[in-house]
Chain A
Amino acid sequence: MEQNKVVFDEHHVIEHLRHYLPSQAALKDFVHHNTLHGFQHLKFHTALWEASNIFGFRTYLSIDEFRAHYRSGRIKPEILDKVISEHFTKTDNTGAEIEAWKYKILNQNFNLELTSRLFQIRKYWKDSYKFNMDKVVHPWLFRLLSSFLDQGISTWKFPKSDLGFIESLKVLEKNSFISIFKSKRIQDIFLNQNLTISNLLQVLIGDEKYFEQYLFDQQFGHPGWSGFVSVLENQPETLLKYKKISLSEVIFLELLLEIDALDHKFGTKWLPLHTNIDKDLIVPLFEKVPNGELNTLLQIWQEAYEWSYFDGVLSGVRQSSPPKNLQSKPIQGLFCIDDREYSFRRHIEKIDASFETFGTPGFFGVEFYFQPENGKFYTKACPAPVTPTTLIRETNRKSNQKSDPHFNQHSHSLIRGGLISSTMGFWSALKLFINLFKPSISPITAHSFSHMDKHSDLQIEYEGVTDEGLSIGFTPVQMAQRVGNVLRSIGLTRDFAFLVYIVGHGGSSVNNPYYAGYDCGACCGRPGAVNARVFAYMANHKEVRKILDEQGIQIPDSTIFIGAMHDTTRDEIEFYDEIHLSPESQQLHENAIEIFNDALVQNAKERSYRFDTLDSNLPLTKIHKEIKKRSVSIFEPRPEWNHTDNALCIVGRKSVYDTLYLDKRPFINSYDYTMDLDGKYLLTILNAAIPVCGGINLEYYFSRVDQQKLGAGTKLPHNIVGLFAVNTGIDGDLRTGLPSQMIEIHDPVRILYIIEHLPDVVLKTIQSNPNIYEWIKNEWVLLSVKNPIDQQVYRFKDEAFLLYEPIYTLQSANSEKDLLTVLRKEEPVLLTFKN
């Protein structure tokens, strides 16, 4: 018997496959994640190199782009030198060798062809059998899949789809005069024999040692579909209409279709594939990837690119000084850590220094399912990994959904379609005309404010009622716990203002299949209005305040919390439950509204610098109007830039960053280490901030560097499939990742976390959660610490914190005008003028 006989373990192989497939849920639940999650157990650069060599992904910017950045000064010579010398001191290279490397980095031409180990086996169909398997099998497979999974585009539903994918196909096959397959043999196998995947592979391939690799070839021929099915297996609730399907069913069907296609073409007398395989040429998919010079080169460029920016930021952070004891402010606001809220907060504080703002994840520590009035389903309103046990219901909704007959199924039917097209058609022309020349909010807009009706009521108080295992509302103890946690984590336990705004955020857009990606990531891709409102209710609750009081958080009776939501696309704000305001606070509220509105207009202007098609020199109100128009224009594929350019995540007091202008690049979580010396709240913060912000950052990164395989390509030809995904054309694979229009101006750098605390406490904290530590240790996210005691910054490297000495002193802006010259992201700026 052969010594190393390979045994094909079906279950193991499918799990292995699943590990590397894209894991994107339905578009309505768009949640960012690390695109290369399958490689996360490796170091960042190793992972990228391996992923590139195995699957043929582009994982870095091109060398040309790096060199162009170098020439333009974006990548700084000293930083590049430093990265080079750091890299080669480890490997004991001599000075001359280092010089040689530097020459290569700057000038040498390389063979840049991307190679992939995929399709080594499957290509034999084409090479030896002259048979284009993909062309024959894919369209029909995709059709069956999309018809089965469809959520509401087709009029004629897949019969008996509740039985599960293969079962309903069997029922269909059995009860039809026409077969799904072409050959008799397969019809018989499908209906009458209980074959397994390995039985079929035996027929098709013949040699067990190629089975696994063949399945990878096969499934990575359409990673979008396979990945989506794999997600559905673990997360079926991402489809409103439940569908039972598994990856192994898809593989099973695809193998059948392949044999079917071969039978149809060659009769039943073809030889299995292994007879044609030249086994010496096959490189096993996951065999060790040899290191290459290109790898070193790209790695050095990438780090030089990243640190050219980070160096300046850390230089500014090092100069920051601890806060002086300030007087309490009359107005405070809690915002999401989202990078889009950072610039909004910056403008608010600039307009009125007596308005103090904080950042915390936008679900405000309250996790629940939300059910709008008349809603037939629940939506999750907290980060995706959390499973809530509470349901919040909306009642007394005042506004109703309007409808648009253009999506009506009747327009596609024969007779009624005829009547509709010859009558309503003319109305369509008029509508289109209005939409083009005077865009406005319509039933087809995804409008953040309509997620929850401003004037409706919420059932927040628990009254002993449960529904399907979910308790409706929270008890005062539960409320106090959640409110307390948030307040302590951001360091707001005293000096409460008269008014404290809780500002969630959401986005509005039209003609945008990625609309969910514009909302709050901490609320599972939904607008954060309900969370803000619920939190404000809880914090105003008499009993809650009493419990908090016992725990040492004294909220004065005069303090009122107000829920609100910022629409990041339109730069508008909406407030909730304003009737609770006392007459005294009413005036203050009105002042605050004015500040908010000013800040919104300023924010709109700042955003306008990134829109090529909008003139930033227009008057402020005009710019704001144009910004609002974008969000409702059906012809505008870029209503906002979303998380474009995200690069930082700051966890600390405001003094760490308030003298810095960081454009729209940081996520900010307010945190006061003096109230958390042992890092308990820090851990909670990082548990959320690292996967959430890291996931956003890496998804932007990979979609940007490989728009074809890791991103969704340009959005312009996208076609909606079954209401859950997009493809291009009508028979392509599903596209995963972000479309070009969301990431094309993004700078693909990893995110740098800056934590204000003592390095050893931070180290202990991150090491206490292995999942979090994996991200940091493997450098998928970068970490640095601002030590509040010695005022130095430390950089995490090779599992320890080392002192970081910034090379450059930061450019400073002495006036508002200076600031204008650096508005476009290239540099952090030190603000030396008084706001």
Chain B
Amino acid sequence: MENVIHLFFIIPLVGFVLSLLVNNSKEAILSQIAFYTIGTNLLFTLGFSIYWLFQGGKSINLKEFTVYNEQDYNFFIDFFFDRITATYIVVGTIITFMVVKYSRFYLHKDPGYKRYFNTILFFYIGYVLTVMAGNFETLFVGWEILGLSSFLLIAFYRLRYLPVKNAIRVFTIYRIGDIGILLAMWMSHHLWSDNVTFFKLHNYELVHQQLESHSDIGIFISLMILIAATAKSAQLPFSAWLPRAMEGPTPSSAIFYGSLSVHIGAFLLMRTHPFWEHQVSIRWLIAIIGLSTAIITTLIGRVQSTIKGKIAYSSAAQIGFIFVEIAAGLEVLALIHFAGNAFLRTYQLLISPSVITYLIREQFYNYEPSKDKEKNSWIPSRIKNAIFILSLKEWHLESVVFRLIFMPLKKLERMLHIFKYKSVVYLFILVYIIGIYIANSNYGIPHNLRYGLAIAAGIVALLMVAKAYNERSNTLLAWTLVVFAHFYIDLAVTLNDHVDIKEATLYLSGITISGLLGYFCLKSVGISEHNNISLNKFHGFVTKHKLLGFVFLLSCLGIAGFPITTSFLGEDLILTHIHEKQVALAALVSLTFIINGIAVIRIYSRIFLGHYSHNFQNSSDLSI
């Protein structure tokens, strides 16, 4: 029965490829492809799960294929199926199926009809990969797909400012989660000196033995996993992104933020449960995060006056509970809770436009003014009011993350006004060449100095992306900087450790191609727009330069290390050359990766999204 397991992934992939080929005007075909693809997968999923249950419900692990294998680095795709997977895949497929059915008519006449169904199918592939992943690498591929499809659906009305702004925000938070996984992967390479499968984690003896000798590494990995899970599941302190993600068509909000996407954090915890279950401090931490989220988001939810905001916070609160259940080891309860919460919130979101009709009518017949009077309570009103205001302000959750990470960056950037385009290019190329020469030379440079130089290169890379992130006028400069930053990362790692040319090529070839392609796109758009492509506003060129927009998006993904180019593999690979004790370098590199991705998406959004041309001419973007 293992040999059919990859069908879970292949069926939607076939559907996705097919639906890419269909013309946007063929609504019926597009929706039918999605409907039958997911429908088939639903039947298959149910059939498989039932059969599997009758077979005794034993965990299945299947090594699918190896992507890259060199020395002690082995990147392979691996599938795993147990009751957690079973629950997630059944619930996910049912919900996706119903949402696809719902969207068939709901999206009728929308100019983005095809884009919508493509993205939903793409999302579903990512979801399947994530919940069926047998190792971190596979999970990460799925995870990235989820993040990207989220971005695309939040910014579905891509010419309007708010959806794009919020999509960038959500992407930013997701990016933090991504790095959690990336670092967890990095450290587990060192811990297991191998690409460990989740299946192996169930081997108590093995895990116990490893953690015995490396307890700090164990804690580090668990923390990284927890960051990833917290960000993805909108737990504290990240919760405020969830309501802001409700910018796309209602059914897409339902599937993503009401139900599936937002429960993936909980999934990650359950999946890695055998790894951290014996680390009591981590369990407490999960429980505390979950409980405090449950309380705080319930309070915030109570003062929400928009229906989607309210549902979002209620959902986050229940996921907080699920975290607590997971920490307590109540896996079955957590799974039931997940399924119920996902179904409930999906339905509540899908019928949310009815709330006016329903509640106004209910009020009309049942309103009692006395009920609106405040009751006397034992809580002093000063405290009560303070909580009220705090909750209205969402406990400052929206700004806290940005203040922690991005304010320092802004300050840093103010020191960098010296960067001018030409000087940057020549200087950096020169320094890079010297650096590479030193790195590969065999002069007896002391180890400490090498490490110091590596740190310096890392700092330069970080400054570059910081500058790119804050750049307001020169788009090409910003783009060049994000590309160069990767070279400096490579430099830093090469200085630090021996990186063979094959690995460097793997990493940098993807970057170079994407970089050049992106540069070409920006240049072309710049030429046809008379160089009016500064980054201090949104331009919304996506309808005018459709193809360039798409190619540029692809190059952005390449630069951001999305699993379509070799740079994805490279990022993971490059990290293995940082030793487990070199926390500073790891921090620099990962921070650069985070900001790099955000800076790239920012460039894409500002040039291609977020603004509709306002004139007497355009009629095609009627319903943006």
Contact = CB atoms under 8 A, between A and B. Distances in A.
Note whether A and B form a binding pair: yes
Interface of A: 27-28, 56, 58, 60-65, 112-114, 140, 143-144, 146-147, 149-157, 159-160, 172, 175-180, 240-241, 294, 298, 372, 374-377, 401, 403-404, 406-407, 411-414, 417-418, 420-426, 428-429, 431-433, 435-437, 443-446, 510-513, 515, 612-613, 633-638, 707-708, 713-723, 727-732, 740-741, 744
Contact of A146 (B306, B340, B623): B306
Nearest to B161: A732
Interface in B255-269: none
Given A716-B623, A717-B246, A723-B355, 7 more contacts: A178-B390, A411-B348, A414-B295, A417-B317, A421-B345, A634-B351, A720-B352
Contacts of A411: 314, 344, 348
Contacts of A718: 250, 353
Given A422-B337, A634-B354, A714-B624, A150 B305 contact: yes
Contact of A426 (B95, B295, B311, B343): B343
A256 to B, nearest CB: 15
B357 A512 contact: yes
Interface string B297-325: 01001111111111111100110010000
B494 to A, nearest CB: 39
A401 B362 contact: yes
Contact of B157 (A177, A377, A444, A714): A714
Contact of B306 (A152, A241, A376, A721): A721
Contacts of A114: 614-616
A444 B347 contact: no
A515 B357 contact: yes
Which of A58, A113, A635, A714 has most B Cβ within 10 Å?
Answer: A635
A376 B364 contact: yes
Contacts of A512: 353-354, 357
B284 to A, nearest CB: 20
Nearest to B163: A729
B353 A432 contact: no
A146 B622 CA distance: 28
A125 to B, nearest CB: 14
A436 B381 CA distance: 47
15 contacts: A62-B618, A112-B616, A177-B383, A241-B367, A406-B344, A412-B310, A413-B298, A421-B340, A432-B98, A635-B350, A637-B108, A708-B624, A717-B163, A717-B246, A720-B306
A403 B362 contact: yes
Contacts of A28: 356, 360
Contacts of A717: 156-157, 163, 246-250, 253
Contacts of A413: 298
Nearest to B615: A112
A720 B356 contact: yes
Contacts of A636: 105-106
Interface in B367-419: 367-368, 372, 374, 381-386, 388-393
Nearest to B391: A156
Given A150-B305, A716-B107, A62 B243 contact: no
Given A112-B617, A241-B372, A414-B295, A511 B342 contact: no
Contacts of A445: 354, 357
- Dominant secondary structure of chain B at its interface with chain A: helix
B363 interface: yes
B118 interface: no
Given A172-B385, A729-B166, A716 B340 contact: no
Contacts of B313: 412
Contacts, number: 320
B308 A376 contact: no
Closest 10 CB pairs of A and B: A425-B340, A176-B385, A714-B623, A425-B344, A716-B249, A428-B347, A150-B305, A112-B615, A429-B343, A422-B340
B153 to A, nearest CB: 10
B612 interface: yes
Contact of B360 (A157, A159, A420, A723): A723
A421 B305 contact: no
B346 interface: yes
Nearest to B353: A511
Nearest to A113: B615
Interface string B67-103: 0000000000000000000000000001100100111
Contacts of A714: 110, 157, 623-624
Contacts of B243: 730
Contact of A713 (B347, B365, B623): B623
Given A511-B354, A728-B162, A721 B305 contact: yes
A180 B356 contact: no
Interface of B: 94-95, 98, 101-110, 156-157, 160, 162-163, 166, 243-244, 246-251, 253, 294-295, 298, 301-314, 317-318, 321, 333, 336-337, 339-348, 350-368, 372, 374, 381-386, 388-393, 612, 614-619, 622-624
Contact of A298 (B251, B381, B616): B616
A516 to B, nearest CB: 9
A644 B258 CA distance: 34
Given A401-B362, A414-B298, A144 B623 contact: no
A58 B614 CA distance: 8
A28 B312 CA distance: 25
- Dominant secondary structure of chain A at its interface with chain B: loop
A180 B389 contact: yes
Contact of B367 (A143, A240, A417, A613): A240
Nearest to B614: A114
Nearest to A714: B623
B361 A176 contact: no
A633 B350 CA distance: 11
A722 B342 CA distance: 24
B246 A154 contact: no
B252 to A, nearest CB: 9
Which of B253, B305, B311 has most A Cβ within 10 Å?
Answer: B305
A741 B160 CA distance: 18
Contacts of B618: 62
A403 B361 CA distance: 10
Contacts of B294: 414
Contacts of B361: 401
Contacts of A637: 105-106, 108
A152 B307 CA distance: 10
Contacts of B382: 175-177
B162 A732 contact: yes
Contacts of A421: 318, 337, 340-341, 344-345
Which of A147, A406, A445 has most B Cβ within 10 Å?
Answer: A406
A156 B389 CA distance: 11
A562 B58 CA distance: 71
A832 to B, nearest CB: 36
Contacts of A155: 301-303
Contacts of B364: 240, 372, 375-377
B587 to A, nearest CB: 30
B341 A634 contact: no
Contacts of A62: 616-619
A166 to B, nearest CB: 16
Given A374-B365, A412-B302, A728 B98 contact: no
B344 A157 contact: no
A375 B365 CA distance: 4
B410 to A, nearest CB: 11
A72 to B, nearest CB: 14
Contacts of A56: 614
Given A708-B624, A714-B110, A151 B389 contact: no
A470 B352 CA distance: 37
Contacts of A407: 355, 358-359, 362
A717 B116 CA distance: 13
Contacts of A143: 305, 392-393
Contacts of B615: 58, 112-114
Nearest to A421: B341
A218 B383 CA distance: 34
